[in-house]
Amino acid sequence: MKREASGRAVLLRPRADAADEVQVDLGPLTDGIGYMLRRAQLASFKNFQQVFGPVGITPAQYSVLLIIELNPGLRQTQVSDALGIKRANFVGLIDVLEKRGLAQRIPAVDRRSYALHLTEQGRKFLKPLRELNDAHEAQLAAALGKDGRAALVSALTAIASMETVSGPATDDDA
């Protein structure tokens, strides 16, 4: 069902195989910071997929490639911790990037862990992604208005700083 938000309710439009559209009252959820953050994240990821679609990369993969480019030689745990990705999920993510020839694991000095590096192909692949990300960010900023982007980033930074009090939150594929 397609959802269209309107105030405190969401209109669920039926799929081709469903009968009726239904108005769902979301009550206090529409004023809830956590709920609206999640809805905004979903909208942002949808836009990311539209902009990056032909490239076949996820937001998490893009973030990992960018961090590795900026910090070559970091260990897997350092990158996963920095991005808030569960370590078990991070291994699979790196497996995908390695199979695509974009990143590589090199045994670290202590030989018990791996240092991450971009391959030459990964460096070349990342360059046009920056332009795609600029387009994605511009579309998000346009939805916020002239001063909205800076205010939102400031507010989100304040909320994100809460994780240092109770430890990092993790997501399956941040």
Span 24-37, pLDDT tens digits? 888 888 889 999 99
pTM above 0.85, yes or no: no
The answer on pLDDT for 107 being more than 60 is yes
Count CB atoms within 10 A of the CB of residue 106: 10
CA 87 to chain centre: 16
List the structure tokens of 28: 């206090």
Q: What is the pLDDT of residues 52-68, one digit of tens each?
A: 999 999 999 999 999 99
pLDDT band of residue 98 (cuts 50, 70, 90) is: very high
Distance CA 116, CA 30 (A): 41
In this structure, are residues 63 and 174 in contact, taking their beta carbons and an 8 Å threshold?
yes
Q: Domains in the chain, start-ordered, CATH in brackets?
A: 1-31 (no CATH), 33-166 (1.10.10.10)
Phi/psi for 85 (5° steps) reads: -105, 130
**The predicted structure's pLDDT at residue 41:** 95
Query: DSSP assignment of 51-111, as one string?
Result: HHGGG---HHHHHHHHHHHHSTT-BHHHHHHHHTB-HHHHHHHHHHHHHTTSEEEEE-TTS
What does the radius of gyration of the chain's CA atoms come to, in whole angstroms? 19
Structure tokens at 109: 């000095």
Check whether 174 has a pLDDT greater than 80: no
pLDDT digits (tens, 9 = 90+) for 84-96: 999 889 999 999 9
pLDDT at 173 over 50: no
Angle between helical axes of 87-99 and 76-83 (0-180°, round to 10): 110
What average pLDDT does the segment 104-124 reach? 91
In this structure, which amino acid lies at residue 27? G
